[in-house]
Amino acid sequence: MAPAVAARREGDTFQARIFWLHAARLLDPESGVSRVGFETGPKSFDDIRIVYDPARCPNDHYGKPVLREHIQCKWHVTQGSYGYADLVDPAFINASTRSFLQRAHDARRVVDSEGIGAPEDVGIRFKLLSNWMLERTDPLRDLVSQRSGGIRRETLYSSRTDNSRFGRVRKAWREHLKIKEDELWCLVQTLAFGYDPRSLDELRGDLDERFARVGLRRIPANENAFPYDDLVFQWLAQGRRDFDRAGFREACAREGLLRLAQNGRSVYGVKSFEHDFDRLEEHCHAVLDLVPAFDARYIRQDDDWRSTLYPRLKTFLSDAARAEPRLRLALDAHTTLAFAAGSIIHVKAGREVELEQRVAGRQIWAADDQAPDPAWPTFATETVELRPDQPDIAVALGLTHDVAADMRAYVEASLPQVGRLLILRPTTGPGSQSVACGRHAAGLADAATDAVRTAKAGGSALVHLFIAAPNAFTFFLGQRRTALGTVRLYEFDFDGHGNRSYMPALTLPLPPAPSADDPASASSAMRR
> What are the pLDDT tens digits along the chain (528 aa)?
566 677 789 999 999 999 999 999 999 887 899 999 999 988 889 999 999 999 888 888 888 899 999 999 999 988 899 999 999 999 998 888 999 999 999 999 888 877 777 777 778 999 999 999 999 999 999 999 877 899 999 999 999 899 999 999 999 999 999 999 999 999 999 999 999 989 999 999 989 988 988 889 999 989 999 999 999 999 999 999 999 999 999 999 999 998 876 656 678 999 998 775 567 876 787 889 999 998 877 898 999 999 999 999 999 999 999 887 888 999 999 999 999 999 999 999 888 899 999 875 578 899 999 999 999 999 999 999 999 899 999 999 999 999 999 999 999 999 999 999 999 999 999 998 899 999 999 999 999 999 999 998 867 789 999 999 999 999 999 999 999 999 999 999 765 555 668 999 999 998 765 554 554 444 433 333
Amino acid at 303: D
Q: Is the dihedral of CA 363, 365, 370, 373 positive or negative?
A: positive
Contact 488, 480 (CB under 8 A): no
**Whole-number pLDDT of residue 519:** 45
Please tell me the distance from the alpha carbon of residue 519 to that of residue 528, in angstroms, as a whole number: 19
pLDDT at 309: 97
Query: From the CB of residue 425, how many other CB atoms can be counted at a distance below 10 Å?
Result: 21
Extended strands (E) in 154-241:
191-195
The SS3 assignment for 509 reads coil
Q: Looking at residue 87, what DSSP letter applies?
A: G
Query: What's the CA gap between 308 and 301, in Å, rounded?
Result: 10
Q: What are phi and psi of 278, to 5 degrees?
A: -145, 75
Query: Rounded distance, CA 336 to CA 452, Å?
Result: 18
Q: So what's the pLDDT on residue 122?
A: 73
Whether the bond between 292 and the residue before it is cis, its omega within 30 degrees of 0, is no
What integer pLDDT is reported at residue 528 of this predicted model?
A: 31
| Degrees to nearest 5, angle at CA 277 with 315 and 40 | 95
The whole-angstrom separation of Cα 139 and Cα 162 is 13
Would you state the pLDDT for residue 162? 92
Residues 6+ apart with CB under 8 A from 438: 354, 355, 357, 364, 365, 366, 367, 368, 369, 370, 472
CA 194 to chain centre: 29
> By the 8 A CB rule, do 74 and 138 touch?
no
